[in-house]
A and B are shown apart, each in its own frame.
Chain A
């Protein structure tokens, strides 16, 4: 658990404001992921990264952007937050042993958009 941290852990913001969430890892893993978790929907992939400056879209990427300038940090940005983006956001990391994709999650960030 100590290998992945997220900041902030809680945030309340207003509609239309920009928000950036940070995921930091000390495991030197290649792959990093951002998910959102909403009741009844499980975990849905927003964006993921397969290396520094290498990112790709997931299932629910509209309204979100990401950046990865260092192996250890993966940032998720909501350019103009909306109430539909109120959610719990989880970061995950993976080294992808062989062809499998074991992912380990950070503690989460609870975001409320008023």
Chain B
């Protein structure tokens, strides 16, 4: 089955700096890659996703890139703010499987 590895497990940045979280996946048939943000004690919230027919997607301060050849994808957050502090999870899925396989999460802390 699919295996998703996520790095780093913890990340601290100064407010205003950029943050990058990276994930690799094992199943070359995977075609959907969402990112979730989870604040302490809350549910995971979908923040952005990318599909295998594109290489990059942006939404305001967040962006995701996908390299299908290397089987990795990354989340980029620019101009970080304290409210960006949370745990971020990547995931991968192929349509026929109907399942998401999640990475182990990255605790992002934005220091004021």
**What residues of chain A have their CB less than 8 Å away from a CB belonging to chain B?**
1, 31, 33, 40-45, 48, 50, 58-59, 90, 94, 96, 98-108
Contact with A along B1-23 (1 / 0, CB 8 A): 10000100000000000000000
Q: Is the CB of A105 within 8 A of B43?
A: yes
Contacts of B42 in A (CB 8 A): 107
Contacts of B67 in A (CB 8 A): none
Total contacts A-B at CB 8 Å:
62
Q: Which of B31, B32, B105 is the one whose CB lies under 8 Å from A42?
A: B105
Complex Cα spacing A50 to B42, Å: 26
Complex Cα spacing A58 to B101, Å: 10
Interface residue tally for chain B (C-beta within 8 Å): 25
Complex Cα spacing A107 to B44, Å: 9
- 16 examples of A-B residue contacts, CB within 8 angstroms: A40-B104, A42-B89, A42-B102, A42-B103, A42-B104, A48-B99, A50-B98, A96-B95, A99-B31, A100-B32, A100-B93, A101-B93, A101-B100, A102-B34, A105-B43, A106-B43
Contacts of A99 in B (CB 8 A): 31-32, 95-96
Complex Cα spacing A31 to B98, Å: 9
Complex Cα spacing A40 to B51, Å: 26
Q: Is the CB of A100 within 8 A of B51?
A: yes
Q: Is the CB of B32 within 8 A of A101?
A: yes
Contacts of A59 in B (CB 8 A): 1, 101
